[in-house]
Amino acid sequence: MFGVVPKTIWQKSNPADSNNMCSWAMRCLLIEEGNRLILVDTGIGDKQDEKFFSHYYLHGDDTLDRSLAAKGINRADITDVFLTHLHFDHVGGAVSRQDGQLLPAFPNATYWSNEQHWDWAVNPNDREKASFLKDNILPLQQSGQLNFVAHEQGTTFGEDIKIRFAYGHTEAMMLPQISYQGRTLLYMADLLPSVGHLPLPYVMSYDMFPLKTLHEKKAILQEATDNKYVLFLEHDPVNECCTLMQTEKGIRVDQVFKLSDL
């Protein structure tokens, strides 16, 4: 999760257990815009076999269905599922096993990816293919519910949402940038998994092009600092949102809070 950074350094912010594993969140975002209910990412899901889940030690009481139910929403209410990218911990919940078949978990939703990333995922390189599970991806296309957004920086996805693209973690990952409560909220996906990844060299070994990640992260963190963006953190086990400030050691966290506190 921290690439070349020594464990003696990174464990101060994200301590590992006896198996050298850290706890991480899979935090999705629900956006209500007019008559649309847009779900950003879907977590890991529950359809894979026991062997698959034995590698990840899922724990805690949170589930996507339970989180939606707390807002009085069920899967049939979701109109759009926006997939930042197609790694299993982001798209696994997009497909479910129903009567022995793999079908879209959100029956009335349009699923959104982009053609460049889709082609990258269905024709994966040998290093990344373990993250692109066909059971998570192909049923979306077969259902006819899959659509592609235009592959251009700043593509709009609604009145208050535009899309940023990043290429270091995987090809053409999408970051939704949302105007909310007079603020700019940026969903960081895997460009910034947690506040522990704020120092520039803290780049995951999962990233296909780590030097590109570093340059992308440097530019976006400076933009976010200068413009007081709220960053929504998908994988941070503790912190849901943060703002940034400039320090002598570089850009670091300023405030952490829940989105509901805005």
Given this model, what pLDDT does residue 18 score?
A: 87
Q: Would the pTM count as exceeding 0.85?
A: yes
Please tell me whether residues 164 and 132 are part of one structural domain: no
Q: What is the pLDDT of residues 79-97, one digit of tens each?
A: 999 999 999 999 999 999 9
Please tell me whether residues 34 and 142 are part of one structural domain: yes
Please tell me whether residues 171 and 112 are part of one structural domain: no
Q: What is the pLDDT of residues 37-93, one digit of tens each?
A: 999 999 999 998 888 888 888 888 889 999 999 999 999 999 999 999 999 999 999
Please tell me whether residues 131 and 203 are part of one structural domain: no
CATH assignment of the domain containing 199 = 3.60.15.10
Domain span including residue 82: 25-149
Q: Domain boundary at 121, 149, 177, which?
A: 149
For residue 45, give the 3-state DSSP assignment: coil
Q: What is the pLDDT of residues 3-28, one digit of tens each?
A: 999 999 999 889 999 888 899 999 99
Please tell me whether residues 112 and 201 are part of one structural domain: no
Q: What is the pLDDT of residues 183-219, one digit of tens each?
A: 999 999 999 999 999 999 999 999 999 999 999 999 9
Q: For the chain, how many structural domains are there in total?
A: 2
Residue 2 lies in a domain: no
Compute the average pLDDT of residues 109-121: 98
Given this model, what pLDDT does residue 34 score?
A: 93
Q: Domain boundary at 149, 177, 210, which?
A: 149
Given this model, what pLDDT does residue 19 score?
A: 86
- Cβ atoms of 48 and 136 closer than 8 Å: no
Please tell me whether residues 91 and 164 are part of one structural domain: no
- Cβ atoms of 221 and 251 closer than 8 Å: yes
Please tell me whether residues 115 and 57 are part of one structural domain: yes
Given this model, what pLDDT does residue 57 score?
A: 85
196-227 CB burial, b ≥16 within 10 A, e <16: bbbbeebbbebbeebeebbebbeebbeebbee
Given this model, what pLDDT does residue 136 score?
A: 96
Please tell me whether residues 122 and 177 are part of one structural domain: no
Beta bridge partners of 31: 38
Given this model, what pLDDT does residue 13 score?
A: 86
Compute the average pLDDT of residues 230-255: 97
pLDDT at position 179 over 90: yes
